Amino acid sequence: MSEPKRMHPAAVLLNIFKLIKDLIIPILLLLIVNGGGAERLYGGYVLLILLAVLVIFSVIKWLTFTYRIEESELRIEHGLFVKRKRYIPIERIQTVNTSAGIIQQIFGLVKLQVETAGGGLDAEAVLTAISREDARKIAEELEAYKTDFKSETADLLEEGESTSANEKRHIYKLSKKDLLLAATTSSGIGVVLSALFALFSQIDNLIPFDAVADRFSFLTNAGVAVFAVIAFTLLIIAWVLSIAGVLLKYADFTLERKDKDLIISRGLLEKHQLTIPLERIQALKISENLLRQPLGFAALQIISAGGDSKEEGTTMMVPIIRKSAIPQFLEEYLPGYTFPAAVQKLPSRSLRRYIIRAIIPVLPFVAGALYFLRPWGYLSLLLVILACVVGYAKFKDAGWSIHGEQLSIRSRTIGRSTVAVTKRRMQVFHTQQALFQKRADLATIKTSTMSGFIGAHFSLSDVEAEDSEQIRTWYRDRV
């Protein structure tokens, strides 16, 4: 593939839609501000001119954008007046990922992303619309070169890292039953509510609040039960939307371990295929939300060097899995990692510190409610009780364990999470003691791994000081 090639003409359409999405707020403002008559007509002319500019810009971008593989490099050139050239050595390419949105699927195309070692959060190169055949050829050429390169430098590989060419392939497919369970027990309702609030904050100046208030003025005399029903209905709608989002995102979910790579495929309306070399995986995260923990289920995520900007190096390995099945699953798909059956708990004297940290954020609100909203303000004291419960739950679940070369840290924010990181992937490990921690003979342990620009950081507060020194000694004994 040494001859320069252009992307499919559908790239023009994709670029137009992307630009319109980026400009949607100014466009809506233009439509609202222009009330009617001549002003609305002028606004329409402006929109037509803007659309014409977008079309011309997108066509020029498509005509001047070329890609090819030449002299062991992926070469991308674009630009009309200023020619920009990006040459990516193939040996630096870590993964080639594909995805297909609705438009790509209509034309039988894919979006191809190339990620390199140390490439940061964003993909090093993106081809938004190429044929599946071209994507396959690019991936094959890159893989062929990498195979030759690895065979020439096999003597430099770490002991235990090499993989037999005849290694057995493992394929895991998420069943429809598990997909539905993942959707109904996900924490997606919080994401939906956050998205709705974010949307509202962007368009609140476009909403005719006076007309809305007049339309629903009858609710001013409604009782508490009516508002409770409305709130419950809105929560049900948000829950249904979150279920639909998870179903669309993880439909046809497949995980394949092929040689030294994990290949993850998922999605219905927008299909994704992600390839993650095992050597790039820095840590494993086991997440249990409030619904899944009592049911004995969890989600597995892998933290890798690099990653895309949306997920900051964190990739869903399995949306849902029974905890009892995790040890066998890791043995097949992620060798070198284990699921800690038990962790070293924190000393009982840490409990007070966890409860105090949970109470402090709610104290200003409680104080304000008690001062300005009496007698109803006394209900805010329930927040103090809730904070104590949260603090106790965080203390109860917190802990650590060492299994061979792996350090596991368990903690809780709302849901419970366990992070497993191997010694050779830890960039740094240190302990610290605040004044009051020192008096109580407690310490905080911290470690980090490569992931994105700033890395992934993990910590656990108020462990036994003697235990923190034990972990430090374990970390120092690196091979």
- Residue 205 DSSP code: G
Whether residue 429 contacts residue 447, with contact meaning beta carbons closer than 8 Å, is answered with yes
- Residue 96 DSSP code: E
- Residue 167 DSSP code: P
Burial profile 220-251: b = 16 or more Cβ within 10 angstroms, e = fewer: eeeeeeeeeeeeeeeeeebbebbbebbbebbb
Half-sphere exposure of 437 (CA within 13 A, CB side): 17
State how far the Cα of 200 lies from the Cα of 264, in Å rounded to an integer: 34
Per-residue pLDDT, averaged over 190-198, amounts to 65
CB count within 10 Å of CB 179 equals 19
pLDDT for residue 160? 42
Q: Where are the alpha helices (DSSP H) in 34-131?
A: 37-64, 102-106
Per-residue pLDDT for 121 more than 60?
Answer: no
Whether residue 115 contacts residue 94, with contact meaning beta carbons closer than 8 Å, is answered with yes
Whether residue 416 contacts residue 293, with contact meaning beta carbons closer than 8 Å, is answered with yes
Q: Which long-range contacts (CB under 8 A, 24 or more apart) does 221-226 make?
A: none
Which residue did the predictor score with more confidence, 136 or 252? 252
Please state, in angstroms and as integers, the Cα–Cα distance from residue 297 to each residue in 102, 136, 171, 284, following that order: 32, 36, 20, 16
* pLDDT tens-digit series, residues 253-292: 999 998 888 999 999 988 999 988 898 899 999 999 999 9
Query: In which band, very low, low, confident or very high, does the pLDDT at 309 lie, cut at 50, 70 and 90?
Result: very low
Give the percent of the chain with pLDDT over 70. 79
Which residue did the predictor score with more confidence, 38 or 137? 137
Nearest CA among 73, 26, 90 for reference residue 54: 26
Q: Which two tokens stand for residue 177?
A: 């039953």
Give Cα 351 distance to the centre of its chain: 32
Per-residue pLDDT, averaged over 366-372, amounts to 91
Picking from 116-130, 290-304, 364-378, which range would have the lowest pLDDT averaged per residue?
A: 116-130
If you average pLDDT over every residue of the chain, what do you get?
A: 84
State how far the Cα of 441 lies from the Cα of 228, in Å rounded to an integer: 48
Per-residue pLDDT for 448 more than 60?
Answer: yes
pLDDT for residue 332? 93
* pLDDT tens-digit series, residues 400-439: 999 999 999 999 999 999 999 999 999 999 999 999 999 9
Per-residue pLDDT, averaged over 113-117, amounts to 79
State how far the Cα of 317 lies from the Cα of 388, in Å rounded to an integer: 34
Which residue did the predictor score with more confidence, 353 or 18? 353
* pLDDT tens-digit series, residues 11-62: 999 999 888 887 777 766 666 655 555 555 666 677 788 888 889 999 999 9
Query: In which band, very low, low, confident or very high, does the pLDDT at 147 lie, cut at 50, 70 and 90?
Result: low
Per-residue pLDDT, averaged over 93-121, amounts to 82
pLDDT for residue 162? 44
Per-residue pLDDT for 367 more than 70?
Answer: yes
Per-residue pLDDT, averaged over 179-187, amounts to 91
Query: In which band, very low, low, confident or very high, does the pLDDT at 144 lie, cut at 50, 70 and 90?
Result: confident
pLDDT for residue 216? 61
Q: Look at the block and give the residue holding tokens 């609710």.
A: 219
Per-residue pLDDT, averaged over 80-86, amounts to 86
